[in-house]
Amino acid sequence: MEQGPSPLSQPIPTAPAAGPLPLPDPTLPHLSAPLALRRTIADTELTVHPLALGTSVFGWTADNATSHRILDRHRDLAGNFLDTADSYTSGRSEVIIGSWLRSRRTRDSTVIATKIGKNLDNPGLSSRSIIGAVHASLDRLGTDYIDLLHFHFDDPTVPLEESLGAVDVLMRGGLVRYLAASNFSAERLMEARVLAANGLPRFVALQTQYSLLHRTAFESSLGVVTRAQGMGVLPYFALAHGFLAGRYRSKADLEKTTRSSRGAKYLNRNGLRVLSVLDRIGEEHEAAPAAIAIAWLLARGPVVAPVAGASRPEHVDALVAAAGIRLTRGDMVDLDRVSA
């Protein structure tokens, strides 16, 4: 296992340097200086690429070899931020990431975010479950520390003070560096901030559903609270289950899979209008619709890094390319209007 926290607070080089982060293919568009595009999650030493690679398909629709190739491609394009959970394929996603980290020796240059609370072996957010879940995740990942630990959901059966207290113990032991929330309400985030003011760990980031096709829930109360608290925002379902990548344009495109059935709900007049604008703007920027959809998120307020997954290595290119796209004011107005 790797020992100690990674030195992620150090400046990120913009020229070739020794170490596990190779320079990307210079022929790819929008990636002229990807190492200079790092963003820091506020009040942390976590400096991350503006695209968090989601790994929920690892061990599910992507086998070990394919998952490793996806991770290799993400790393080759200067990606360094991985998002997983102890419940993804019953922990298999963490196991695959752990084997990749060991084989490539990339732990020190990789920011690992994992979520706990939904694994049946350690369910919920009681003190006992949290401590058990973190130790199990560490074993699967083959590491001694987690960079960013998420509560996967708000557990109303456990006092928030108990949950935060358990993380405090883990932080003091060096097993967890920072804490984040996933799927928390604005009210619970405010309660957590009060407890943090009294010495308990604070949430430095929020993972929540947010995309061109799912805006209202975040842009109302959650947007206000995250700005007020200085929290980084990590939107998931950034591509609306693949719909905003242009994967589903007619009923004939829908496959008999869970993922396509989720994306199918956007296959309507409104969804196709949004996709049409993405296509037009993508042509102007010589970029895929997925890259434009993520670039729109990156231009929104407190968003640090959208979370998006890839089922094949070649899908990673468009996701990472979003970090180098600068949408014009006209682009933003058009996207805001069509998705309102």
Burial of 129 (0-12, 13-18, 19+ CB in 10 A): buried
Q: Which residues touch 23 (CB under 8 Å, ≥6 apart)?
A: 16, 35, 78
Sign, Cα dihedral of 40, 41, 44, 49: negative
Measure the CA–CA gap between 227 and 206, rounded to whole angstroms: 11
Contact of 59 with 314, CB cutoff 8 Å: no
- DSSP symbols for 41-101: PTTSS-EE-S-EEE-TTBTTTB-HHHHHHHHHHHHHTT--EEEEETTGGGGHHHHHHHHHH
Mean pLDDT of 55-69: 96
Q: pLDDT higher for 79 or 261?
A: 79
For 216-273, write each residue's pLDDT tens digit.
999 999 999 999 999 999 999 999 988 999 988 877 777 656 566 677 789 899 999 9
Helix spans in 124-185 (H): 127-141, 160-172
For 279-323, write each residue's pLDDT tens digit.
999 999 999 999 999 999 999 989 999 999 999 999 999 999 999
For 95-110, write each residue's pLDDT tens digit.
999 999 999 999 999 9
- pLDDT for 260: 64
The DSSP symbol for 303 reads B
Domain range summary for the chain, segments of one domain joined by +: 34-246+290-327
- pLDDT for 229: 96
pLDDT score of 12 more than 90 = no
Q: pLDDT higher for 249 or 170?
A: 170
Beta-carbon-side half-sphere exposure of residue 194 (alpha carbons within 13 Å): 7
Residue 260 structure tokens:
């396509």
Residue 197 structure tokens:
């003011």
- Topology (CATH level 3) of domain 34-246+290-327: TIM Barrel (3.20.20)
- pLDDT for 248: 80
Helix, strand, coil: what percent of the chain each, to 5? Answer: 45, 15, 40
The model's pTM: 0.87
